[in-house]
């Protein structure tokens, strides 16, 4: 059974007199352990597709299935639980809480899951060591470089060992070398932990390293464009 | 509270972490709640203090149950002897006689009720807070009958009926003054020995207006009155202190209720400030709330976070308000910042009842209102759109 399956999903935004249809009849199947890249021009709906796959937003029509169960039938509480336990997000802008240290940021999903503070600290520390950030654990995001912030964000995304990792332009804000390093880290982690990953990027050079790449164009996931 | 919400509340919603404009709003909410709670506390303490003082003064000057004669009765000796057996918890039973007269003294004339009691009984001295060295000779005036009158001075009493050839004016030595704490009693009553009063007015040696009963527990007055009703002769009717002062206590009860409602509204208005604080702070934290949503924070956890945010100024305001209220009430009782006119208020000083129970009730009320308001605000704000928040986070 596929881990994620999007069936004929559409997304329309109504902002002003003319509705904007961002996604038109998008279907996608991602098997457990797959690494799928999605490319497309700015405004093509890549991030919107990722949000729908992760249950952050609801489709105007169509259905997204996670582990065979439709997301539209789940309550907000159930979706929150799914995001906490089974889905990790990595964003272009890192989205770290500036009031928290790197360690605390990584602990957050554990604390939200009800893990006690001691256990959460242990888990977060292990992941930060895996990311090579053990010496940065006590630093606040403002004191970290872009690459380090993104690695903290990745650590936060995988600390609960999710089944699906969704990465939205994870290298866009980074210089070339750092971007490549983060990209390698993501793909390595995905393979090492057998984590399914859907990654959106505009960088075709990086996407070429992935076994499967899809292109989103005019709101449709047209064809594989590796 | 779970460790996640407690941790996030400390990190995201601490006063230190707020912007200066949010801090000002937070401060305004706390100050508003503090003043409202303090006002409520002082107002109710004052009302309770007046009620308590009236009660104490009334119970000091008036008996707990009065067996009042329809007209007057004679020969109550056997009844007085039987009362200790009939009335459980009776501490004192004393006959009394009321007569009216005009006193002339200190250059003025006053209509006064002369209350004849057994002055040989030492208990009256303490009850009426008598100053002077009287053993019962002469008259003991209420301290407001002739203010400034000295013990040993002579006042004239004009009595309406006198023996043939007797002057209507009698000279009486002032043996002392009493202070009941009630201006009405202190300005309209004079105490005199029962036998002396009968002689002055030419009454038979056993005539009385009634019998005053004092109980170990004044609250039992009603049940004692009911139990005596069947036993008493038709000429005597038991009246309790509550019945004698029903209008006064009803007025105080009404005053307390109205004060509680009006001051309670103040607390509600102050609590509404909290909605503004929660709204502003949450809208400034849309980014963080959206990020937490991507990490899987549940609606229930978000509600707890917002409730905590709203509850904090309410808790501070309540604690500070009660503290301020206690300090203000204490100062009012210890100083004469607000003088009161005894002719208007019947009492000669401001009295406040600083009861821990009142503190508790106001604290629970204030925190309850805060919880309610915080819950309403949280309910409205808990469903912030995640995607919009993520866009703001860029």
Residue B63 has pLDDT above 70, yes or no: yes
Tens-digit pLDDT profile for residues B151-202: 888 898 887 766 666 677 888 888 888 887 777 888 899 989 888 888 888 8
Count of the separate structural domains present in chain B: 2
Q: In whole angstroms, give the CA distance from residue B309 to residue B17.
A: 13
Q: How confident is the model at residue B345 (pLDDT cuts 50, 70, 90)?
A: low
Sequence-separated (6 or more) residues with CB below 8 Å from residue B29: B270, B273, B274, B276, B277, B313, B317
Sequence-separated (6 or more) residues with CB below 8 Å from residue A195: A33, A88, A158, A161, A162, A163, A164, A165, A189
Provide the 8-state DSSP code for A68: T
Domain edge (last residue) among B241, B275, B304: B241
| pLDDT score for B347 | 64
Residue B344 has pLDDT above 90, yes or no: no
Tens-digit pLDDT profile for residues B240-281: 988 888 888 888 889 888 988 998 898 999 988 888 888 888
| pLDDT score for A88 | 95
Please state which of the ranges A79-88, A123-132, B123-132, B351-360 shows the lowest mean pLDDT. Answer: B123-132
Bigger pLDDT: B342 vs B40 = B40
| pLDDT score for B274 | 84
* CA B262, B266, B271, B276 torsion-angle sign: positive
Q: Do B387 and A114 touch (CB under 8 A)?
A: no
Q: Which two tokens stand for residue B290?
A: 């959206």
Q: Do A57 and B387 touch (CB under 8 A)?
A: yes
Enumerate residues 57 to 86 of chain A having a beta carbon within 8 A of any beta carbon in chain B.
Answer: 57, 76-77, 80-85
B52 and B71 in a single domain? The answer is no
Enumerate residues 84 to 143 of chain A having a beta carbon within 8 A of any beta carbon in chain B.
Answer: 84-85, 89, 91, 93, 95-97, 99-100, 104, 108-109, 111-114, 116-117
Please state which of the ranges A179-188, B272-281, B293-302 shows the lowest mean pLDDT. Answer: B272-281
Q: How confident is the model at residue A164 (pLDDT cuts 50, 70, 90)?
A: very high
Residue B134 has pLDDT above 60, yes or no: no
Q: In whole angstroms, give the CA distance from residue A177 to residue A146.
A: 12
B69 and B104 in a single domain? The answer is yes
Chain B residues within an 8 Å CB radius of A57: 386-387
B100 and B222 in a single domain? The answer is yes
Domain edge (last residue) among B207, B241, B275: B241
Q: In whole angstroms, give the CA distance from residue A85 to residue A68.
A: 16
Does residue A208 sit at the B interface (CB-CB below 8 Å)? no
| pLDDT score for B362 | 93
B214 and B256 in a single domain? The answer is no
Residue spans of beta strands (DSSP E) within chain B: 65-73, 90-105, 108-117, 130-131, 139-142, 154-158, 169-178, 189-193, 208-215, 236-240
Domain edge (last residue) among B181, B208, B241: B241
Q: In whole angstroms, give the CA distance from residue B387 to residue B385.
A: 6
DSSP letters along B202-229, please? T--TT-EEEEEEEES-GGGHHHHHHHHH
Chain A residue at shortest CA distance from B389: A95
Q: Do B387 and A85 touch (CB under 8 A)?
A: no
Look up the ipTM and state it. Answer: 0.92
B254 and B214 in a single domain? The answer is no
Shortest Cα distance, chain A CAs vs residue B1, angstroms? 11
Q: How far, CA to CA in Å, does A149 sit from each of A92, A94, A144, A183, B134?
A: 11, 6, 6, 14, 93
Average pLDDT estimate for A158-166: 95
Q: CA torsion angle for B367, B369, B374, B375 (degrees, to 10)?
A: 110
Average pLDDT estimate for A113-141: 94
B160 and B267 in a single domain? The answer is no
Residue for token pair 């009803």: B250
- Which of B14, B296, B299 to mutate to probe the A interface, most A CBs <10 Å? B296
B93 and B183 in a single domain? The answer is yes
Residue B25 has pLDDT above 80, yes or no: yes
Residue A122 has pLDDT above 50, yes or no: yes
Residue A224 has pLDDT above 60, yes or no: no
Q: Is B40 left (phi over 0), alpha (psi -120 to 50) or beta?
A: alpha
| pLDDT score for A165 | 95
B54 and B177 in a single domain? The answer is no
Tell me if A186 sits within 8 A of A200, measured CB to CB: no
Residue B232 has pLDDT above 90, yes or no: no
- In whole numbers, what is the pLDDT of chain A averaged over residues? 91
* Enclosing domain of residue B137: 64-241
| pLDDT score for B393 | 63
Does residue B384 sit at the A interface (CB-CB below 8 Å)? no
pLDDT over 70 for what percent of chain B? Answer: 91
Residue B54 has pLDDT above 60, yes or no: yes
Chain A residue at shortest CA distance from B382: A76
Q: In whole angstroms, give the CA distance from residue B304 to residue B9.
A: 9
| pLDDT score for A226 | 44
Q: What is the pTM of this model?
A: 0.71
| Strands, sheet with A4-14, edge to edge from the N-terminal-most edge strand | A19-30, A4-14, A61-66, A69-70
Tell me if B294 sits within 8 A of A93, measured CB to CB: no
- Which of B290, B294, B384 to mutate to probe the A interface, most A CBs <10 Å? B294
Partners of residue A139 on adjacent β-strands: none
């Amino acid at each position: 059974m596929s881990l994620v399956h999007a069936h004929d999903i559409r997304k329309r935004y109504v902002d002003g007199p003319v509705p904007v249809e961002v996604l038109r009849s998008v279907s996608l199947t991602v098997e457990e352990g797959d690494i799928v890249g999605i490319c497309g021009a700015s405004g093509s709906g890549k991030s919107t597709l990722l949000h729908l796959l992760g249950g952050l937003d609801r489709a105007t029509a169509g259905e997204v299935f996670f582990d065979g169960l439709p997301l539209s039938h789940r309550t907000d509480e159930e979706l929150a639980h799914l995001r906490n336990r089974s889905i990790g997000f990595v964003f272009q802008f890192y989205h770290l809480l500036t009031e928290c240290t790197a360690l605390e940021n990584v602990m957050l999903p554990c604390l939200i899951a009800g893990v006690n503070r001691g256990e959460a600290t242990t888990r977060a520390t292990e992941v930060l060591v895996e990311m090579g950030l053990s010496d940065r654990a006590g630093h606040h995001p403002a004191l970290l470089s872009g690459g380090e912030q993104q690695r903290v964000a990745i650590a936060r995304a995988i600390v609960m060992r999710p089944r699906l990792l969704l990465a939205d332009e994870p290298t866009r804000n980074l210089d070339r070398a750092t971007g490549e390093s983060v990209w390698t880290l993501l793909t390595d982690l995905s393979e090492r932990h057998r984590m399914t990953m859907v990654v959106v990027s505009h960088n075709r050079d990086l996407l070429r390293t992935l076994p499967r790449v899809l292109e989103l164009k005019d709101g449709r996931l047209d064809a594989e464009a590796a | 509270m779970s460790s996640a919400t407690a941790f996030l509340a400390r990190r995201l919603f601490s006063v230190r972490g707020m912007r200066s404009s949010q801090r000002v709003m937070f401060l305004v909410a706390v100050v508003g709640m503090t003043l409202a709670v303090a006002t409520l506390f002082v107002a109710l303490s004052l009302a309770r203090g007046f009620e308590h003082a009236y009660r104490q003064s009334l119970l000091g000057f008036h008996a707990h149950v009065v067996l009042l004669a329809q007209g007057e009765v004679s020969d109550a000796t056997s009844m007085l002897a039987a009362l200790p057996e009939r009335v459980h918890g009776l501490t004192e039973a004393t006959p009394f006689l009321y007569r009216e007269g005009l006193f002339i003294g200190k250059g003025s004339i006053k209509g006064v009720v002369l209350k004849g009691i057994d002055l040989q009984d030492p208990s009256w001295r303490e009850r009426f807070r008598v100053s002077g060295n009287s053993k019962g000779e002469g008259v003991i005036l209420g301290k407001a009958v002739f203010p400034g009158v000295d013990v040993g001075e002579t006042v004239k009493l004009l009595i309406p009926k006198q023996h043939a050839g007797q002057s209507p004016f009698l000279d009486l030595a002032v043996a002392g003054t009493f202070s009941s704490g009630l201006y009405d009693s202190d300005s309209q009553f004079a105490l005199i020995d029962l036998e002396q009063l009968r002689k002055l007015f030419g009454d038979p040696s056993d005539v009385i207006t009634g019998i005053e009963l004092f109980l170990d527990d004044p609250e039992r007055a009603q049940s004692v009155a009911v139990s005596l009703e069947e036993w008493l002769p038709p000429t005597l009717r038991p009246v309790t202190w509550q019945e004698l002062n029903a209008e006064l206590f009803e007025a105080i009860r009404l005053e307390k209720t109205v004060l509680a409602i009006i001051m309670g509204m103040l607390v509600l208005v102050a609590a509404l400030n909290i909605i503004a604080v929660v709204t502003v702070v949450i809208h400034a934290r849309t980014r963080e709330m959206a990020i937490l949503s991507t990490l899987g924070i549940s609606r229930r956890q978000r509600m707890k976070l917002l409730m905590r945010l709203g509850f904090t100024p309410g808790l501070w305001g309540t604690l500070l308000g009660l503290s301020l209220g206690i300090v203000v009430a204490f100062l009012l009782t210890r100083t004469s910042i607000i003088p009161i006119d005894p002719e208007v208020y019947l009492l000669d000083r401001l009295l406040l009842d600083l009861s821990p129970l009142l503190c508790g009730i106001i604290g629970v009320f204030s925190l309850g209102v805060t919880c309610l308001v915080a819950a309403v605000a949280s309910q409205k704000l808990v469903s912030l759109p995640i995607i919009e928040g993520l866009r703001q986070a860029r």
